[in-house]
Amino acid sequence: MTQTTTPTTGDTTTDAAQRSGANTPTVTESLDRLSLEQALIDVEVANARVIDLTARLSESHLEAQQLRQQTLELTAAAATAVPAVPASGGLRALVAGPIKAVARRVLPLSVRIRIRTALG
Amino acid sequence: MSRPRVLLALTVYNGRAVVPAALTSVAGLSHAIADIDVLVLDDASPEPGFSAEVERLCQRLGHGYYRSPRNLGIPRNVNLGLLAALDGGYDYVIISNSDVIYSTMAVDQLVLTAQTDARIGSVTAWSTNVSIYSIPNSAPNDHLQHQAVTDEVGEALRDDFGSVAVDIPAGISFAMLIPTPVLRVVGIMDPVFGRGYCEETDWSRRSVEAGFRLTLGIGAFVYHAGGGSTEAAGLLQPGQTTVPGNEAIIDMRYPDFRSVVGEFFDAGTMPDLNARALEAIIGRASREHGYRLAVGLRPQSSNSGDPHTRTIGDRNGAAGALDIDVVLHGHRSSSAAVTTSVAGFTSTFTTSADQAAEMIRTAHGVPLSVDVFDIGVPAETFARLVAGDDGATDIQTHRNYPARV
């Protein structure tokens, strides 16, 4: 591993300084610098993420509240909108009613009589 | 054209049992293609006295050494290596675990592979422990932590595959080379992955989105023990091989990643490559060192031991021979189950006894030695078919029934 991060210039003063180690960053110094710079960047990124995520969390929280309210309203509306099942005839009468109405409109009487006879 | 400069950044966190071997291994790397500097990044290892030992070893071997004042976690420690490569004007950086043994030519091969295409964003070395790309091996830790053995495997793969780059869904940072120009475009690892795992998958997918290829350097072999330090550090829960929280980040960011991996599996790339790798490794061992033939089941007490756990080389690093074990069965012992093994790399097939003898003789020539463990004419006949009748090979017949009888 090269112990310097600056290229050798050939200048005797620089060479002498490098030999003595006076101005040459060591591996530790170079990596301390890189580590510190990156740590500061990481903190900035982490802060930006926290701010962004907090905003999104608040937005999601509001949306969840609205959706919960809508669910309650729709549930209440559905309970009143569903027609009551007739007491006599039950489910069969509920289904057969509209079919009979359509049949009356589109089928001749003779055909309707035959169907009624066949179905009992 | 100037020689490429490579910074090999080896991250360390504890690991007294494996780190010295890794540091010694990278000190012996070939510099035929590239100039290689090694930088050891000690992530504030807490083992008493360990950091000082590593530092002393680095000084002796000529490696750079840096100990973080605080524990950074894998992604940020790796980032130090990536930044050091950019800062130092290197052409390539290798991010590497410290539970590894590099085959001597591995870094040269990684560089040569990267040089085949400017669109290559990373080259992951090949290994027996490299996630879904692993070459099957029955006992890697018994064999491959010996430099001589890893070198033999590395030479076999280099000779057979050269600088072939195989496209893969994600790189694995146990030994992964990245050209620094790619790093300038893609950036460094995301610290959101905390103490580590999945950060290289995230980096890989970012590099794909930037238009780069992710590749496996199948001519570059690096032994990887794997898992030890991360388990010891509590990074992995017992029985787990990954960090579920980090996997969830990958799933959220790259919803198509799992299907990309599935397509890679479906393509059948790795089984084909593994078969060819086995052939190359076995073929080389046979050519270089010959082979020992055993017919019949070895008794448990045999000094030779189980063929799957015998080593390609002895403990002094001297290379050894291939082992071929044949078990005859069926009507009049007409079928032969053949197991060929070296350093835990094992190939098996079953065919007729006559054909098996012919195949062994044709592929591997005359054996160094023959041991017959089954009493009976068929076993001895088989041995003579392979060894020949000229008496050049001494056939040892063991009249002691194996324990199974």
Segment B208-229, tens digit of pLDDT = 999 999 999 999 999 999 765 5
Distance, in Å, from the CA atom of B273 to the CA atom of B136, rounded to the nearest integer, reads 11
pLDDT of residue B401: 55
Among A24-28, A74-78, B115-119, B121-125, the range scoring the smallest mean pLDDT is A24-28
Distance, in Å, from the CA atom of B345 to the CA atom of B137, rounded to the nearest integer, reads 5
pLDDT of residue A21: 45
The number of C-beta contacts closer than 8 angstroms across A and B is 41
pLDDT of residue B8: 98
Q: Higher confidence at residue B328 or residue B331?
A: B328
Name the minimum distance, in Å, from the CA of A1 to any CA of chain B: 5
Assess: ipTM above 0.85. Answer: no
Residue B302 pLDDT exceeds 50? no
Among A93-97, B27-31, B286-290, the range scoring the smallest mean pLDDT is A93-97
A76 and A97 together in one domain? no
Query: Angle at the Cα of B44 (from B42 to B49), degrees rounded to 5?
Result: 90
Name the minimum distance, in Å, from the CA of A44 to any CA of chain B: 12
Q: Give the chain B residue nearest A50 (alpha carbons).
A: B192
Residue A17 pLDDT exceeds 50? no
Counting the structural domains of chain A, the total is 2
DSSP SS3 for B153: helix
What's the whole-number mean pLDDT along residues B296-318?
47
- Provide the β-strand partners of residue B178: B93
Q: Cβ–Cβ of B37/A46 closer than 8 Å?
A: no
Provide Rg for chain A, Cα atoms: 42
Residue A16 pLDDT exceeds 70? no
Place of tokens 């009049």: B332
B→A interface, C-beta within 8 Å:
37-39, 41, 62-66, 68, 72, 76, 79-80, 83-84, 87-88, 188, 191-192
Q: Cβ–Cβ of A31/B66 closer than 8 Å?
A: yes
Distance, in Å, from the CA atom of B44 to the CA atom of B108, rounded to the nearest integer, reads 30
pLDDT of residue B231: 62
Burial degree of B376 (CB within 10 A; 0-12, 13-18, 19+) = middle
A57 and A93 together in one domain? no
A5 contact residues in B (CB cutoff 8 A) = 87-88
A31 and A65 together in one domain? yes
A39 and A3 together in one domain? yes
A16 and A58 together in one domain? yes
Name the minimum distance, in Å, from the CA of B83 to any CA of chain A: 7
- Provide the β-strand partners of residue B291: B322
A49 contact residues in B (CB cutoff 8 A) = 192
A1 contact residues in B (CB cutoff 8 A) = 37-39, 62-64
> What's the mean pLDDT when you consider all of chain B?
89
Name the minimum distance, in Å, from the CA of A16 to any CA of chain B: 22
What's the whole-number mean pLDDT along residues B293-315?
54
Q: Cβ–Cβ of A3/B64 closer than 8 Å?
A: yes
pLDDT of residue A11: 37
A119 and A77 together in one domain? no
Distance, in Å, from the CA atom of B332 to the CA atom of B336, rounded to the nearest integer, reads 11
A88 and A114 together in one domain? yes
B63 contact residues in A (CB cutoff 8 A) = 1
A48 and A107 together in one domain? no
DSSP SS3 for B44: coil
pLDDT of residue B1: 65
A19 and A58 together in one domain? yes
A4 and A20 together in one domain? yes
Among A56-65, A89-98, B57-66, B292-301, the range scoring the smallest mean pLDDT is A89-98
Q: Cβ–Cβ of B192/A49 closer than 8 Å?
A: yes
Name the minimum distance, in Å, from the CA of A38 to any CA of chain B: 8
**Residue span of the structural domain in which A64 resides:** 1-82
pLDDT of residue A59: 92
| Beta-strand pair B92-96/B175-179 | antiparallel
| Alpha helix (H) residue ranges in chain A | 12-20, 27-81, 90-106, 109-119
Q: Cβ–Cβ of A3/B39 closer than 8 Å?
A: no
Q: Which residues of B306-325 are buried (b: 16+ CB within 10 A; e: fewer)?
A: ebbebbbbeeeeeebbbbbb
A77 and A87 together in one domain? no
Under the banding of pLDDT at 50, 70 and 90, the label for residue B128 is very high
A91 and A67 together in one domain? no
Under the banding of pLDDT at 50, 70 and 90, the label for residue B112 is very high
Lookup: tokens for B299: 């008794």
Q: How far is CA B70 from CA A93, B7, B51, B382, in A?
A: 78, 23, 13, 65
Question: Amino acid identity of A19?
Answer: R
